[in-house]
Amino acid sequence: MSMPQRPTTILIAALGGEGGGVMADWLVDAASRSGFPVQSTSIPGVAQRTGATTYYLEIYPVPRETLGGREPVMSLTPTPGNVDVMVASELLEAARAMQSGYVSPERTTFVASTHRVYATLEKMQMGDGRFDGARALEGARQLAKRPVLFDMRELALANGTVINAVLFGAMAGSGALPLSREACEAAIRAGGRGADASLRGFAAGFGIAASAAAGGATAPGERRAPVRPGARSPLDAQQVIEHGVERLKEYQGDAYADLFLQRVNSVGTSDAALLAETARQLAVWMSYDDIIRVADLKTRATRFERVRREVGAQGDEPVVVVDYLKPGVEEVASLLPPFAGRRLVAWAQRRGKLDAYNVGMHLKTSGVAGYLVMRGLALLRRWRPHSHRYAEEQQLIERWLGDVREAATRSVPLALEIARCARLLKGYGDTHRRGRASFVGILDALVENPPMADAAAQAAAIRAACEAALADPEGQALSRQLGKKVIWLNPGATAAGATRSRA
Amino acid sequence: MERSFREEVGKLRLGDGEVFHGEGILAVTKALLQSGVAYVGGYQGAPVSHVMDVLNDARDILDELGVHVETNASEAGAAAMLGASINYPLRGAVAFKSTVGTNVASDALSNLASAGVKGGALIVLGEDYGEGSSIIQERSHAFAMKSQIWLLDPRPNLPKIVEMVERGFELSEASSTPVMLELRIRACHVHGSFVTRANRRPAHSKNDRLSEPDFDYGRICLPPATYAQEKHKIEVRWPAAVAFIREHRLNETFDGDLGHVGILCQGGLYNATVRALQLLGLADAFGASRVPIYCMNVTYPLVPDELVAFCAGKQAVLMIEEGQPAYIEDALLATLRRHDANAVRAHGKDLLPLAGEYTGEVVLNGVAAFLESAGIGTSGAVGQLLSAKKRAAELLGGAVPARPPGFCVGCPERPVFAAMRIAGRELGAFHVSADIGCHTFATLPPFNLGNTVLGYGLGLASNSAMQPMFGRRTVTVMGDGGFWHNGLTSGIANAVFNKDDGILVIMKNGYSSATGAQELPSSPQHSEPKADVAIERALEGIGVGWMRTVDNYRVGAVAQTLKEAMTTDYQGLKVIVAEGECQLERQRRLRPQVAERLAKGQRNVRVRYGVDEDTCSGDHSCIRLSGCPTLTVKDNPDPLRSDPVATVIDGCVGCGLCGENAHAATLCPSFYRAEVIQNPRAWDRLVAGMGRSVRRLLS
């Protein structure tokens, strides 16, 4: 027989704790059983169970006894364009493999799971910092010689096993390995512990990849491919308004929902996008998260069901739910009548005691007493329109709405940017204060007293400021953008922030 | 310990003609026994942690052979242990990470190399360079040159590595010089096979002890002996080594028909070189190359006549040498000049990168450029191979976010840094001197805490001039690993002696965790039944007057203690012992216990944290104070909001940081703790039922 010029090369990109090393061992074992020379190596790095890691294998697919004592020379590192089977246990790692040139149209069978495990850099952003998974998936389909792409984590969970078994199965099923199914399964069996579950996962992955390789329908997982984050098909204006009405009825009653409709109508625009965005921001804002709202949401029957589901409670296992609340001066003030609330906040601000009196509470909401306390708070709903916070929010809403309205007569894109600014208002406590300061700062500096006359330039400036406000929690980017400091923290801490920026 | 080798150690017993299958570093261990070592030591650190782990799991085999095994306190301790080979015919080996470990060991190594050895002394270096490395990027080569320690860099396959271990001892004895064996990360972890020989019982060992102490002033590192030692190195030991290397053909020449060119490479890069030639159509699968190759399994000392013989008559050669400075290339150029072999053009770092790892891609590009320059066409093979990279860049449209390693799920060090961030809000930013260990990950997002890193256990020492320069107090972080490695003396004793006014946080997680959870003098297993206080007693003994112990997971209390340390009137070193067991080790211990409880039908409370998706505002400040892998984001289920919400996924170990952060930083009311009661008792059911009835009645 003629000898192959080179070994079959397999590169595995995995995350710590996913069993990449075990998978490499299976491959070594299966190749050895087949009598083939095999070599594996890895960059396991430090012992931590996080971070990206790779395993690299080479199998010379000719029985050793026919080699006449000659040993193939195997490489310890992969070379771009020279990988036969690229395996990625997650979509971002799949993208990384492509970026490094390990997926080539001439050579590579690309076995990758399409689920996402977000990296710290993606998830720590104040807005949406997620990598565009749909683009990576589309790229993988185009770039690979043979793409085998589906959600292998889901399949692993369904089979009560770890993702490495499914990946191994998909690899074997794709036909790209010079190893028989029997050899692979024997290797798993020899691995011992958890072999039955691994074999189930292997079979599941094998089936999907084999049917795709046989030219069958697209792998089922492809249908479940992730949509582009944040790009859910947008609701049209009518749908937004319907959602809004429903939400505000539930929040404060019919009259409040009517107020919402009046406000939406007052924008008086014929532009559907502007209308939808304004209505969306307005509905979210009008249903602002105060202690009453939180108490209401936390005491709904659906919530306890959701918690049971999320924590994986089995059968009739009791689940005790403990909530972490830490109300302080602002929360108390928000419930008081406007004049009293204003004075309390002003007093606390003057003395720098806004965060001084927060009381940390561990409330057992699933129990009788805890539930009664929470439910009682939720019942304050009727009082809400008479509260300080309500007055403050409505005042700012009117101001913003007036700005949107006024801008709409000049330029729809400008009005749209102003409407979008409301996304800065979110959260509780310090987060809320920071967002509100950014928002008001932008209204003051760029919406109501713009340094430019051109509507397009103004819209661009507002957009940039909004992005800057979401760029860092210290408000440094926004301060640079606006040319002045946005202050919401106590002065000492702000100075600290400035020190950091110099460091 | 992270990894148990109980099953694999059986391979250490393999006899003549049997086949060993396994990892590179395990093969080295077997080779040591085949070489008849009398004692072995080392200090943990990737990629050679497993040498010590294997040996610790193989105590009974080693006891049979009488081999002494010691887990040394540091690399300096390990290198000093080789002193046993100076006066006595004892073969010994130690292993550590390089270059950081070699740095620490260099005092002892210099003295060892000067005195010279009677018994073979081998230093196994895990060369932590390039991809996957966790340290500064330097070469071990410089240590070999400065102390005249011979440096082996074998072809990275198991038979060659094993052969070089065995030859290394012979070379060491033939030239009275210690020998270093350099293994790159991937070579340490390479999985392959080799034919074994039976283990050799050392002539002198714990079973066959020495009786007569040997005194020889010539072996003492003091003048005038040192002058004689230096001369002896140059006049006797070096020539002896070169002769041994030549005679036993430790370096290899592979002929090829394209005799007018040639490639010289470090042994460790041989496979990458052959792969490049294969991809360019100039070598077959078995390494038969058309381009002649001189493979240097010994990279120091060089064998000048071999170099000249290989290069003579050629038009051009390429030196493939990883790392910088290019010591070998410079030596090659000097050697050729000295031997009047001036006709050959010697290439190297002019065609290959000056710095950085020589990956498959790098070597391929360099070899292709060399061949092109020598007039050997490669018909655009490289461009074709690398085209997928360009295409991918277009398809992806932007750089893929990095995913560096970080703290594990439930890591006890994470809450301490959360507390530092929270305390910093009130106190203002402070300088943080970091150290080596898992805690170095705090320098990464989301914490970005730690302004300088100067070396293992050196955090506090590196802060000595920082503290007096700042208007407010500075903070140093040190792990318990670093504490025992040298931090107690170079850091704490020094700070107390010099009346340093800073704050030291000692992460007491119980193990040398980053290297694979090896035990320390203060590990729980080493303590008496009562709580371990070895660190605290040492601190007291050394004269630390302000000391607090905190429970890491109580973030508010940790932040409060930091504030207290920052503001107290006490002048002097303030030490906060941050206590929290390594979560990986803790889970390894707890998991079987819980499984057993559940199997017996006993009550068990499983704690998990969660986020209410409808109250989460999507600001992610909780993530910026955590970075826990199980605290992540998901699409916002609310049709009117677009920013993703936080969520806790499977794998949460219920460490409690989420809830503590929500409180300590006054984040938001979205977090909840769920206690799932498994195998509930009647009382549990009754209480749960009451809650359920009330909820049903009122909702």
As a dihedral over the C-alpha atoms of residue A291, residue A293, residue A296, residue A300, rounded to 10 degrees, the angle is -130
Inter-axis angle of helices A163-173 and A181-190, to 10 degrees? 160
User: What pTM value is reported for the model?
Assistant: 0.94
Confidence of residue B439 (pLDDT cuts 50, 70, 90): very high
Q: A9, A18, A27, A46: which to substitute to probe chain B, counting the most B Cβ within 10 Å?
A: A46
Alpha carbons B451 and B498: distance in angstroms, whole number: 22
Closest CA to A435 of A285, A332, A287: A285
Alpha carbons B630 and A311: distance in angstroms, whole number: 12
Out of A99, A122, A243, closest to residue B640 by CB: A243
Q: A28, A38, A56, A76: which to substitute to probe chain B, counting the most B Cβ within 10 Å?
A: A76
At B49 the pLDDT is 87
Task: Find chain B residues with C-beta within 8 A of A283's C-beta.
Answer: 640
End-to-end CA distance of chain B: 51
Confidence of residue B521 (pLDDT cuts 50, 70, 90): confident
Chains A, B: CB pairs < 8 Å? 414
Helices (H), B455-528: 459-462, 480-482, 494-497
Alpha carbons B629 and B644: distance in angstroms, whole number: 16
Residues A137 and A246 in one domain: no
Q: Is the ipTM of this complex over 0.85?
A: yes
Beta B574-579 vs B546-551: how paired, if at all?
parallel
Distance from CA of A119 to the nearest CA of B (A): 6
Helices (H), B441-582: 459-462, 480-482, 494-497, 534-542, 555-567
Convert the pLDDT of each residue in B580-609 to its tens digit: 999 999 999 899 999 999 999 999 999 999
At A228 the pLDDT is 44
Q: Which residue of A has its CA nearest to B696?
A: A301
Q: Which residue of A has its CA nearest to B652?
A: A311
Answer yes or no: is A239 within a domain.
yes
Residues A370 and A459 in one domain: no
At A491 the pLDDT is 36
Task: Find chain A residues with C-beta within 8 A of B515's C-beta.
Answer: 46-47
Distance from CA of A429 to the nearest CA of B (A): 7
- Assess contact for A212 and A218: CB atoms under 8 A: yes
State which residues form the domain around A436: 389-503
- Burial class (CB within 10 angstroms; exposed 0-12, middle 13-18, buried 19+) of B180: buried
Alpha carbons B403 and A48: distance in angstroms, whole number: 13
Distance from CA of A131 to the nearest CA of B (A): 7
Angle at B168 between CA B163 and CA B169, to 5 degrees: 110
Residues A161 and A242 in one domain: no
- Assess contact for A500 and A474: CB atoms under 8 A: yes
- Assess contact for B621 and A427: CB atoms under 8 A: yes
Interface of B with A in 386-415 (CB under 8 A): 386-389, 391-393, 395-409
At A475 the pLDDT is 80
The mean-pLDDT minimum among B5-14, B165-174, B460-469 falls in B5-14
At B524 the pLDDT is 76
Alpha carbons B143 and B104: distance in angstroms, whole number: 12
* End position of a domain, from candidates A386, A421, A455: A386
Alpha carbons A282 and A263: distance in angstroms, whole number: 8
Whether residue A497 is predicted with pLDDT greater than 70 in this model: the reply is no
User: What share of chain B in percent tops pLDDT 90?
Assistant: 88
Token pair belonging to B636: 């916002």
Strands, E, within B446-560: which ranges?
Answer: 452-453, 475-479, 503-508, 511-512, 518-519, 546-551
- Assess contact for B583 and A83: CB atoms under 8 A: no
- Binning chain A into helix, strand and coil, the percentages to the nearest 5 are 55, 10, 35
Whether residues A496 and B427 touch (CB distance < 8 A) is answered with yes
Residues A141 and A176 in one domain: yes
* End position of a domain, from candidates A287, A308, A328: A287
Residues A453 and A494 in one domain: yes
Task: Find chain B residues with C-beta within 8 A of A124's C-beta.
Answer: 445-446, 620, 623-624, 627
Convert the pLDDT of each residue in A85-144 to its tens digit: 999 999 999 999 999 999 999 999 999 999 999 999 999 999 999 999 999 999 999 999
At A357 the pLDDT is 85
Residues A309 and A369 in one domain: yes
Whether residue B622 is predicted with pLDDT greater than 80 in this model: the reply is yes
Alpha carbons A229 and A187: distance in angstroms, whole number: 39
Closest CA to A302 of B637, B617, B619: B637
| Mean per-residue pLDDT of chain A | 89
At A49 the pLDDT is 63
Distance from CA of A217 to the nearest CA of B (A): 25
Task: Find chain A residues with C-beta within 8 A of B399's C-beta.
Answer: 99
Asked if B599 has any chain A CB less than 8 Å from its own CB, the reply is no
Out of B364, B391, B639, closest to residue A143 by CB: B391
Q: Structural domain tally of chain A?
A: 4
Out of B156, B408, B673, closest to residue A48 by CB: B408
Alpha carbons A44 and B132: distance in angstroms, whole number: 7
At A45 the pLDDT is 56
- Assess contact for B120 and B179: CB atoms under 8 A: yes
Q: Hey, what long-range contacts does B685-690 have (CB within 8 A, 24 or more apart)?
A: B685/A316, B685/A318, B687/A318, B687/A367, B688/A318, B688/A319, B688/A320, B688/A366, B690/A367, B690/A368
Out of A16, A25, A96, closest to residue B405 by CB: A16
Task: Find chain B residues with C-beta within 8 A of A25's C-beta.
Answer: 191
Residues A467 and A352 in one domain: no
Task: Find chain A residues with C-beta within 8 A of B274's C-beta.
Answer: 73, 75
Closest CA to A478 of A503, A501, A496, A453: A501
Answer yes or no: is A1 within a domain.
no
- Assess contact for B627 and A120: CB atoms under 8 A: yes
DSSP-assigned letter for residue B402: P
Q: Which amino acid is at A273?
A: A
Out of B190, B401, B517, closest to residue A121 by CB: B401
Beta B92-98 vs B39-42: how paired, if at all?
parallel
At A495 the pLDDT is 37
- Assess contact for A112 and A39: CB atoms under 8 A: no
Peptide bond into B159 cis (omega under 30): no
Answer yes or no: is A292 within a domain.
no
* End position of a domain, from candidates A206, A224, A242: A224
Question: Which 3-state string (H, E, C) describes A324-337?
Answer: EECCCHHHHHHHCC
Q: A120, A142, A466: which to substitute to probe chain B, counting the most B Cβ within 10 Å?
A: A120
Answer yes or no: is A26 within a domain.
yes
Distance from CA of B25 to the nearest CA of A (A): 12
Whether residue A225 is predicted with pLDDT greater than 60 in this model: the reply is no
* Buried-state track B87-111, b at ≥16 Cβ within 10 A, e below 16: bbbbbbbbbbbbbbbbbbbbebbbb
Residues A125 and A143 in one domain: yes
Task: Find chain A residues with C-beta within 8 A of B556's C-beta.
Answer: 360
Confidence of residue A285 (pLDDT cuts 50, 70, 90): very high
- Binning chain B into helix, strand and coil, the percentages to the nearest 5 are 40, 20, 40
At A118 the pLDDT is 95
Answer yes or no: is A39 within a domain.
yes
Q: Which residue of B has its CA nearest to A501?
A: B429
Asked if B668 has any chain A CB less than 8 Å from its own CB, the reply is yes
| CA atoms within 13 A of residue A283's CA, in its CB half-sphere | 27
Whether residue B190 is predicted with pLDDT greater than 70 in this model: the reply is yes
Asked if B607 has any chain A CB less than 8 Å from its own CB, the reply is no
Spell out the residues 6+ positions from residue A312 whose beta carbon is closer than 8 angstroms to its own. B608, B650, B676
Answer yes or no: is A452 within a domain.
yes
Residues A276 and A362 in one domain: no
Asked if B185 has any chain A CB less than 8 Å from its own CB, the reply is yes
At B118 the pLDDT is 97
- Assess contact for A264 and A275: CB atoms under 8 A: yes
Task: Find chain B residues with C-beta within 8 A of A329's C-beta.
Answer: none
Residues A378 and A394 in one domain: no
Alpha carbons B565 and B553: distance in angstroms, whole number: 18
Answer yes or no: is A229 within a domain.
no
Token pair belonging to B402: 């990095």
Alpha carbons A177 and A174: distance in angstroms, whole number: 8
Q: Which residue of B has its CA nearest to A132?
A: B396
Whether residue A499 is predicted with pLDDT greater than 90 in this model: the reply is no
Alpha carbons B630 and A122: distance in angstroms, whole number: 14
Token pair belonging to A484: 């002045």
Residues A38 and A144 in one domain: yes
Closest CA to A174 of A132, A217, A205, A139: A205
Confidence of residue A355 (pLDDT cuts 50, 70, 90): confident
| Mean per-residue pLDDT of chain B | 94
Distances (CA, A) of A147 to A222, A411, A450, B683: 11, 47, 52, 55
Q: Which residue of B has its CA nearest to A237?
A: B640
At B531 the pLDDT is 59
Answer yes or no: is A46 within a domain.
yes
Q: B6, B676, B678, B690: which to substitute to probe chain A, counting the most A Cβ within 10 Å?
A: B676
Whether residues B671 and A103 touch (CB distance < 8 A) is answered with no
* Mean pLDDT across B345-372: 97
Alpha carbons A27 and B271: distance in angstroms, whole number: 21
Alpha carbons A342 and A335: distance in angstroms, whole number: 11
The mean-pLDDT minimum among A188-192, A232-236, B112-116 falls in A232-236
Asked if B380 has any chain A CB less than 8 Å from its own CB, the reply is no
Residues A164 and A197 in one domain: yes
